[in-house]
Amino acid sequence: MTDADSAFAGSIPALYDRFLGPLIFEPYAADLAARLADLRAGPVLEIAAGTGIVTRALARRLAAGIAIVASDLNQAMLDFAAAQGSTRPVTWQQADAQALPFPDATYTAVACQFGVMFFPDKVAAIGQARRVLKPGGRLVFSVWSRLADNEIPHVIHEAVAALFPGDPPGFLARAPYGPHDVAALTEQLRRAGFTDIAADTVALRSRAPSPRDPAIGFCQGSPLRNEIEARGAGALAAATDAAEAALAARFGRGPIEAGIKAHVVTARR
């Protein structure tokens, strides 16, 4: 993990939300929100909220009256999320998941979709989530399965790596799709104090109107962009084109559909 792996700034938030949101994040946002739909009291904290994709799903699904606090390390992501609006009021707050600025035993549930992978000290972040949970409260988070189990980003990773064989960008394999070992995650939860732990592997489908959309999403709307641009002028356009061509060769030039897989972990305090 590098500092650039968590640098979601500039045009990245808007491209991330537009191209990656519908492709890979919204299907799992609906799944995560459904897992908390039985809550009858709050408040609920979301960490690593990003552009608010899960936040908006929670706002639609949770019972009326349950307050939602959405936090993220990156203010640019929160600013974009807040500007999108939601079906109910949400409190947006910048926060480091490893040092949450909230009192002990505050929240009935803590949710985190595809953020745990980016925490430098995962045990510390999970411990912070446990600290702010009320007794009996739930932590629900998701992490991606192996890169090879997620067809579209796998194709893009290989296409971009082939474009720069002497120094291939490794963001996708290293960061979002790297920490996928459920046994390791379970051990980190135990070290943070959780004992009641369960994990589900959830396979869904991702869809895009054309190969260009995911090529833009991953190459320009994620921190992969930072690695690509570091390889010189014109690299970003070349990598986006290479990713599009590889996806078209694999799935065709019209609307595309492919498998995605993630692990969803639940733990109770």
Amino acid at 63: A
pLDDT tens track for 137-169: 999 999 999 999 999 999 999 999 999 999 999
Rounded to a whole number of angstroms, the CA Rg of the chain reads 18
Please say if the pLDDT value at position 5 is more than 60: no
Mean residue pLDDT across the chain: 95
- For the chain, how many structural domains are there in total? 1
Report the DSSP beta bridge partners of residue 45.
Answer: 69, 110
pLDDT tens track for 95-110: 999 999 999 999 999 9
| Cα 112 from Cα 233, distance rounded (Å) | 36
Q: Please report the sign of the dihedral spanned by the C-alpha atoms of residue 77, residue 79, residue 85, residue 88.
A: positive
Return the CATH number at 205.
3.40.50.150
- Percentage of the chain lying above the pLDDT 90 cut: 95
| Cα 242 from Cα 2, distance rounded (Å) | 25
| Range of lowest pLDDT (11-15, 131-135, 263-267) | 11-15
| Cα 57 from Cα 59, distance rounded (Å) | 5
Q: Are 26 and 79 in contact (CB under 8 A)?
A: no
What domain range is 104 assigned to? 3-268
Please name which of 246, 263, 242, 5 lies closest in space to residue 120, comparing C-alpha atoms: 5
Confidence of residue 10 (pLDDT cuts 50, 70, 90): confident
Q: In what order do the strands lie in the sheet with 44-46?
A: 91-94, 68-72, 44-46, 107-113, 133-144, 256-268, 196-208
Amino acid at 200: D
